[in-house]
Structures are given as structure tokens and as C-alpha cells.
Amino acid sequence: MSIPAPKESIRLLSGNEAIARGAFEAGVRVASAYPGTPSTEILENFARYDGVYAEWAPNEKVAVEVAIGASMAGVRAMAAMKHVGVNVAADPIFTVSYTGVRGGLVIVTADDPELHSSQNEQDTRHYAVAAKIPMLEPSDSSEAKEFTRLAFELSEKFDTPVFLRTTTRISHAKGTVRLEEPVAPPVLPGFIPDAAKWVMLPVNGKRRHAVVEERLKALREFAETFYENRTEWGDRSLGIVTSGVSYQYVKEAFPDASVLKIGLAYPLPERLFREFAAGVSRLVVVEELDPHLETHVKSLGIRAQGKERIPIVGELDPRIVRQAITGEAIPVRAPEPVPSRPPNLCPGCPHRGLFFALKKLKVTVTGDIGCYTLAALPPLGAMDTCICMGASIGNAHGMEKALGQDGAGKVVAVIGDSTFLHSGVTGLMNVVYNRGTSTTILLDNDITAMTGAQQNPATGKTLQGEPTRRTDLPALCRALGVEHVYTVDPHDMEQTEKVLRREVARPEPSVIITKAPCALLPDHRRKKRPVYEVIADLCTGCKACSRLGCPAIEWVPFTPEEAVAAGKKATQKGMARISPLLCDGCNQCPPLCKFRAILEKKP
């Protein structure tokens, strides 16, 4: 599979596709990432270009370290992640800021204002400031591609890693992009030993810190005249400073206003801001999340309005911007009250069987990041905590140590295969080392599912589709010192419950691996699977099956008259029905029916 490189053509690309294209055009040779919404498609798309190497790393820290290595070796390299991934990768990021680069090095972070698919709403621009790394911020797909190319040029020109920051509405919005031919990077491959640059012993680090400060000065000067820090003069009664997708909302809401559009979110210029402020009678800073630009503007002693008008929580849109600046409410029809439709585990999801069994145990469940976090929602409601990737095991251990004997056998950790390999392994090591007894349940569905089916070290396949060795999960757990490692089929809830009860009670660390493939995997979908149906005559409307929360099981409500007409007691409120279109044939529900009303549908 490869994407042809036309001489010049206009395509409709998402921000993520545009970044992948930009990296390809910039001659990037090595890219590494851990999937995370809204960043996942960057590497997925980049991996399809000819002549590039792209991989899924077990986590973002490794991804950045791989990219650093490639840069040291003189090729252009990229690491991509979602905003919270930067937290994981922060350690190498802060120090590669000191060493600088050889081949251009770009770290892409995709923030998620509004928390569409994240556990927090952090503003990654703070990292640029804290790590003293320049940050480019595109405002649409076209700029996403251009800024990616630019990022590599800046990286080499200023000997620095460069952040490229998007948000969900950049990464997952599509817009037109002009494709160009790839360029040959100016640097030649090869590692050139230079201890003063690459070996960050304190003595070298101290010297490099001074270099970083000089670099920042030069970048600040560059920012004054950088063509992507752009003043668009219009009506001088209103001047708006903005960046990223907020620029689009500003242009939509105030097409005539004067705008200072900041393309380099860090470091920020000074004279440019002063000139702009002097040219307008009212200055407003419009940005999503934290007052990054605003704090800078105000530190220059410039009077401006910002977060007292523009929301700090959630994402913006043209209406919010218009309303905030004019101060006038824009009347709009109130949303209609309708039954909510939160995301749910898929029909046939193996996680459902586990959580159904787990709920019966009435234990505290420390959770983690993945599809299974949805088990925290009703009707399963079988997860009590969720902090970050890998946190479940440490959280369970901490609870156990805090509660002492009162907590014995009452706390379990639940973590997916990919999340475990990302950052759960060290948590489990800690349980064993520090004489913990908690039970860890490892949900192995043979894929990184939440982000849309990405390979990981336990799946036996690489990002670019090559077969590879698998991490053996049971053997890994045993190697960490866990003596009791058991594998169960979560669709068999009776057996799963039995093993759960036994292991939770065990006063030693144990791991239960629930092994069954994600119901969305192509191999599973191709398999011939049964379809179940509810035999109407046998259903008493007890709702035992409904408690699974399977989207394929529907409730058909009755009036007393309808119940009688259907040959039921007048008191029966309804009956269950299985949608043949949705049923995945997982066989979780039939054993739940005491009346044996759920049977395999005969063709």
C-alpha cells in the first residue's frame, strides 16, 4: 500500500492526514507513536507512504526516545501523541531540549478541549514554555501540512526539537490541502559522536542550558517577523489576538475585525503585539483552554480582554466567540429533551462478560483507560476509578495498603492488554515487590481497541503490517514474580466468576487474563457466528438479560391489554427482544435466562 505523490493536487485531508503528508514531504524517515485520540491517524497515515519507517511504540516516552535516536543519527524524525501522552514522554522531552537535534525532530501533540475522548483537558502549550521548546500551532488542515514541513526546517535551523500542537477540531476536521513533492532533507545520515552535545552529564547539561537560553532569544527575535505570526488589518475598533482553530471561529464571527494570528505559540514576540495593540482601540485575546497568549500580552503591560469573557472550560465555536465579545446573548432554540445515548460496549464485547461477573463480587474496581472504561456507566456500573494509562494497578495497591486487613480481598485492578504494556507492567512489578496481594485483571482482546484497532507488542503484528514476535503476557506476569496467573474466556461468565472469587480471596498477588478477541476485529467478523433470539412465549419480562447492557437486547414495553393479548399476565410490563442485526452471537445472555427463553436462531 502506498499513496502516490502527485505533482500538485488539492485533496481533502484531516489535520492528522495533513501532518502525515507534511512529514512525508519533509523527508521524515523514522516516526514512532502510541495511539491516542485525537492523534492516532497521524502515524496510521504516515506508515502508508513509501520509503518511511513507522512504528507503534509501547508508550509515548519510548516513541519520543526512538525519534530522538533517529534525529541523533541524522534523519528527520517525528513522534506523535495525544496531550496526556506528553506527560508520559515529558522526561526525554525536557532533556532533548538541551541536547538539540541533528536531523529535524518534531513532537506532535493533539490536545482535546471539550474532552471528547480524554480524561482531562490539559493545555499542552505549557509544556513548550516549561521545556523551552518552540511550538507551532496550525489552524486548519492546509496549515497542518505546511507547519509540519516548517517545523522540521526550524528544528534544524535552531538546533531544537519543535512541538506541533493541534486540537481535536484540527486533527479531526477535514479541509483542502495542496499536495507537493517530498524534499531531500539537508542533513546527512550518520551519528557524529559529540559528548558535549549528547551526553547530558551535569557538566554538559549546564553548558547546554546556556545554549537553550541563547536559542530562545534567537527564536523570540525570529517570532517578530515570522510570516505565520500574521497581522490582518481590518476594522481598527476591534483587534483580536488568536491562534489555532480559534482563528477560524474569529474569522467566522468577526470577518471585518483586525486580527493578529499567532502561528508560533512559543516563544511569543513582543514588538508585534505592541504594534498590533497600538493599532486597535479594543483588544481581545481569543484562545481555547488556558490564557497562554493573554498572559504574555498582559505581561507586556498591554490592556486586553481575555478569559473574563472567553470560556476557559471546553472548546469554543463561532457563537461562543461572538457572544463573548459582543456581550449580547444570541437566542437559539433549546435542545429537545430526549433519552441520552452515551457510548456503550459493542454487542459481543468480551469485556461485558467480565464486568457482569465482577459486579456480582461487590469489590472495588480500580479502572484504566480503554473501551472498558465504559463499564463504569450503567447498567454495568462496575468500575470505580479511572485516572490515567496504567494507573489501575498502582491505585489498587495503594488502596490495599491504606485499608490494611479491611481491604483484603475487596480491591481489584482492571487493565487492557495495550494499556498494561504501556505503563501497567511497572505497577504490577511494584505489587509483587512490595508484598501486595491485589488481583489484577488483564483484559486481552488482542488489539488496542478504543482508538480503532491498533497493533501492540502482544498482537504479533507491526504498524506497517509485518509479522513479529509477541510479548507473552502470562510469561511476562510470571517473570515479574506473580505466581498465580490464570487465563479465562470472559464470554464464559460462570467460569470467569469462579476464578475471580478464588483469586480475589487469595492472599497473594494474582493475575487473571480474560482472553477473547475484540468483536470488531476483521478475523472475528468473518467467523461464522450464531444469532440468538428471545422466544416470545417463554419470556417473562424479568430483565435478567437486560442487565448485561448489550445494545442488541431491546426491551419491548407492554400495556396490560397488550400483555393479555400476547398471552401474558396483565402485570408483565414487557419482554426482551434480540436484534438480529446487532447480535454478535457471543453467548453471554442465554445462560442468564432462567426460563431458557434465549435460543440460537435457526436459519
Partner 1 sequence: MTVAQGDVFLAGVGGQGTLLASEVLCDAFLLSGYDVKKSEIHGMAQRGGSVTTHLRFGPKVFSPLIEPGRADLLVAFEKVEALRFAHYLRPGGCMVVNAQEISPPAVATGQERYPADVPERLAAVTDRLYLVDALAAALSLREVRSVNMVMIGAASRFLPLPEEAYEKALKGSLPERIVAVNVDAFRAGRSLLSPAKLRTDPHTVRGGDR
In the window 129-148, what residues touch partner 1 (CB under 8 A)?
140
Residue 450 near partner 1 by CB under 8 A = yes
The reply on whether position 546 binds partner 1 by CB under 8 A is yes
Residue 85 grid coordinates: 501522552
Q: CB of residue 503 vs partner 1: minimum separation in angstroms?
A: 29
Which of residues 138, 416, 490, 549 is near partner 1 by CB under 8 A?
Answer: 549
Question: Would you count residue 603 as binding partner 1 (CB under 8 A)?
Answer: no
Confirm if 238 and 258 have CB atoms less than 8 A apart: yes
Among 333, 435, 469, 594, indicate the residue that binds partner 1 (CB under 8 A): 333
* Cα separation, 430 vs 578, whole angstroms: 45
Distance CA 470, CA 476 (A): 11
Q: Are 151 and 136 in contact (CB under 8 A)?
A: yes
Interacting positions 171-190 with partner 1 (CB under 8 A)? 172-176
Alpha carbons 51 and 590: distance in angstroms, whole number: 51
Report in angstroms how near the CB of residue 316 gets to partner 1 at its nearest: 9
Chain-centroid distance of CA 226 in Å reads 31
CA 372 to chain centre: 14
The answer to whether residues 104 and 130 touch, using CB atoms and an 8 Å cutoff, is no
Options 23, 67, 223, 345; binder of partner 1; rule CB under 8 A? 345
DSSP state of 203: H
CB of 339 to partner 1, least distance (A): 4
Segment lying near partner 1 (by CB under 8 A), choices 97-105, 373-381, 387-395, 434-442: 373-381
Among 51, 202, 301, 342, binds partner 1 (CB under 8 A): 342
Count of residues engaged in binding partner 1, rule: CB under 8 A: 57
- One residue of 184, 201, 329, 334 binding partner 1 per CB under 8 A: 334
Kindly tell me which of 174 and 529 has the beta carbon lying closer to partner 1: 174
x/- contact string, 59-98, with partner 1 (CB under 8 A)?
----------------------------------------
Residue pair 149/22 in contact by the 8 Å Cβ criterion: yes
Cell of 447: 488489539
Kindly state the DSSP code that residue 549 receives in the 8-state scheme: -
Work out which of 1, 201, 329, 332 binds partner 1, going by CB under 8 A. Answer: 332
d(CA 39, CA 36): 6
Does position 329 interact with partner 1 (CB under 8 A)? The reply is no
CB 510 within 8 A of CB 499: no
> What is the rounded CA–CA span in Å between residue 148 and residue 279?
31
DSSP codes of every residue in 141-164 = HHHHHHHHHHHHHHHHHTTS-EEE
By beta-carbon proximity to partner 1, the closer residue of 440 and 448 is 448
* Contacts with partner 1, 226-265, as mask; x by CB under 8 A: -------------------x--xx-xx-------------
From the list 352, 465, 473, the residue with the least C-alpha distance to 419 is: 473
Min separation Cβ 381 and partner 1, Å: 12
Q: How far apart are CA 36 and CA 452, in angstroms?
A: 10
Q: Is 484 in the site for partner 1 (CB under 8 A)?
A: no
CB 198 within 8 A of CB 165: no
Q: Give the one residue of 28, 110, 212, 374 binding partner 1; rule: CB under 8 A.
A: 374
Q: Terminus-to-terminus CA distance in the chain, angstroms? A: 39
Residues that bind partner 1 in the complex, under the rule CB under 8 A = 10, 12, 37-38, 40, 116-117, 140, 168-169, 172-176, 245, 248-249, 251-252, 317-319, 330, 332-336, 338-346, 371, 374, 378-379, 450-452, 543, 546-547, 549, 551, 553-555, 557, 573-574, 581
